[in-house]
Structure 1
Amino acid sequence: MTFAALILAGSRGGEDPVASHAGVADKALVDIDGQSMLSRVIGAVREAGVGRIAVSAQGPAVQAEADRCGATPVAAEAGPSASTASGLRTLGAPLLVTTGDHALLKPEWVRDFVARVPTGTDVAVLVARREAVGAAAPGSRRTYLRFADGHWSGCNLFFLATPRAEAAVRLWQAVEKDRKRPWRIVRRLGPVLLLRYLAGRLTLTEAVAHLGRRAGVVAAAIACPDGLAAVDVDKPADLDFVRGYLAQARVPDRA
């Protein structure tokens, strides 16, 4: 594929519950099925056909793991949005962005996502319906946003298709900066959008398009048919689910 990929593997600061649960220094180094979580993500992105892969990371251990896996380690900034902005400036667009805790990432998700981004789109996000997540990952607890056309969960896959996507990343930075001051987020995103959402009259497609226009870009949400794409490792229960899922997948079908 003729674009680069950025894997966000920075630390939130303080003690990470997943790393503590697994007994390692950093979540990206957690062992899953004989591989570090980061190496699994790098491998999936590479198998999807992406040749140039950078890993935004803090600390020498994670950077060394990225280098061992053939990816380019780059210093993480203060937060995922700032790291993405830095990565976009360095790597350019088009740029695929995912996270180092996307332990079950499959190459076909990446290929299908990028292939379905509409022509003229500046930034796209992959999402999954609650029904698809429930069918593919029963028992996994996800966070959903409720829209008029269903409940949706993010899949930690973004495609910054053009240089104009930088404007969307700037909006992301502003929202991230004001996450503890909700009234500022509402002011930035617009009260009309919020009211339509609260009234249950806003679809996901409309919301993403509206947010894109606020940022000055064309934005799109792409639905992934495989709900497993919404599973990341954000808490110890997620790690237990992923390990259990992979263990079950290795068991031969006796039917």
Structure 2
Amino acid sequence: MLKALILAGSGKNDKLKEDKETPKALIKINGREMILYILEALKKLDYIEKIVVVGPEKKLSSVIKNYEVEIVQQGYELIDNVIKGLECFSDEDEVLILTSDIPMITPEALDDFVKRAKESDAEFAYPIISKEDTERKFPGVKRTYVKVKEGTFTGGNAVLVKVGSGKKCLNKARDFFIYRKSPWKLAAILGIPVVLKFLLGRITISEIEKRVFELFGINARAVISRFPELGSDVDKESDLELARRVLAREVLQ
């Protein structure tokens, strides 16, 4: 059995807001708050036995009151919210951590990632999706991509982590969270040899994993997913329009 943690914090740097009072997680897409799409996908996974949501407690409570979830008041930064959320679980638990801005996520995408992650026997598993798969599913979508020897990938918005291991490395990994959408800054943290290979597109996934272990002492694995929904977060107006079109089409099918 797994636990789940949804990061629904409202940050000052959020670019996408209906108004100053509406957290991103509660922006409506086709009449439903964004976070509800994530909760519905999790509900269909019968091995998720506990869900914790970290965010603005008062605003979330009225929207998700019909779901069996624990709500934790958000902190100041993303990593603070991760720490707050992980404190709700025991060190022996495995937790699926998701952001609240991936409304196109499906149970199939999550289940596929979880199975592949568990097969990797990693303490920290992170999905990556190829540029080809992303553009095939969502033509014209704009994402941040990184070129490695195995191909060109974008990162996902979920991780599977062993809680005890995650707690140990979180403070060390603070810069990774801060710069999670800036590949060049992430590469700089990894060291000059890695940066050079990164610039040339010659670094391998296993080399990055090895460097992460050296820096943080955690067995991390990149999990190649064929589901672009994992990497398709809603950060800007064009993302919002895409989500509206895709989800409206699914309702009609």
Q: Same fold (TM over 0.5)?
A: yes
Q: Say how many residue pairs are matched.
A: 247
Q: Offset at 1:32?
A: 2.0
- Paired residue for 2:106? 106
- Matched to 1:138, the amino acid is P
Query: What does residue 86 of structure 1 align with?
Result: 84
1:15-53 Cα distance to aligned partner (Å, 9 max, x none): x442227x9712211222332111111111121221210
Written as runs of structure 1 = structure 2, the 5 A alignment for 1:139-158 is: 139-158=140-159
**Cα drift, residue 167 of structure 1:** 3.5
Contact 2:72–2:84 (CA under 8 A) maintained in structure 1: no
Give the fraction of aligned pairs with identical amino acids, expressed as a percent. 25
Q: CA deviation at 1:236?
A: 1.3
CA contact (8 A) 1:125 1:159 kept: yes
How far off is 1:134 after superposition? 0.4
Question: What TM-score, normalized to structure 2?
Answer: 0.86
Number of the residue aligned with 2:95: 95
Query: 1:198 is matched by which residue type in structure 2?
Result: L
Q: 1-side partners of 2:57 and 2:86: how far apart?
A: 21
- Measure the CA separation in 2 of the matches of 1:250 and 1:129: 27
Alignment partner for residue 35 of structure 1, among 25, 32, 36?
A: 32
Aligned to 1:60: 58
Partner-residue secondary structure (3-state), 1:139: coil
Check 1:129–1:205 CA distance in 2 against 1; reply closer, same or farther (3 A cut).
Answer: farther
Question: What runs of 5+ residues in structure 1 fail to find an aligned partner?
Answer: none
How far residue 208 of structure 1 moved from its aligned partner, in angstroms, is 3.0
- Partners of 1:178 and 1:119 lie apart in 2 by 25
CA 1:137–1:177: 2 relative to 1, 3 Å: closer
1:183 shift after superposition: 10
Amino acid in structure 2 at the alignment position of 1:44: A
AA paired with 2:242? Answer: F
Equivalent-residue separation in structure 1 for 2:84 and 2:72 (angstroms): 9
In structure 2, relative to structure 1, the CA distance for the partners of 1:221 and 1:168 (3 Å cut) is farther
SS at match of 2:210: helix
Structure 2 CA distance for aligned equivalents of residues 142 and 178 of structure 1: 15
Q: Secondary structure at the match of 2:230?
A: helix
Q: Is the 8 A contact 1:47 1:107 kept in 2?
A: yes
CA drift of 1:185 comes to 6.3
Of residues 55, 70, 73, the one that matches 2:71 is: 73
Q: Which moved more, 1:147-156 or 1:128-137?
A: 147-156
Larger mean CA deviation between 147-156 and 204-213 belongs to: 204-213
Q: Alpha-carbon deviation of 1:59?
A: 5.0
**Matched residue, 1:46:** 43
- How many Å separate the matches in 2 of 1:178 and 1:157? 16
Name the aligned partner's letter for residue 35 of structure 1.
R
Shift of 1:126: 1.0
Shift of 1:175: 3.6
Q: Is the CA contact (8 Å cut-off) linking 1:212 and 1:218 kept in structure 2?
A: yes
- Which residue number in structure 2 is paired with residue 132 of structure 1? 133
- 1:179-223 Cα offsets, whole Å, 9 max, x none, are 9xx999667422222122122210234213321332101110111
Structure 1 partner of 2:12? 13
Match of 2:147, SS state, is: strand
> What does residue range 236-251 of structure 1 map to in structure 2 within 5 Å?
236-251=237-252
Contact 2:55-2:74 within 8 A present in 1 as well? yes
Tell me if structure 2 keeps the 8 A contact 1:17–1:236: no
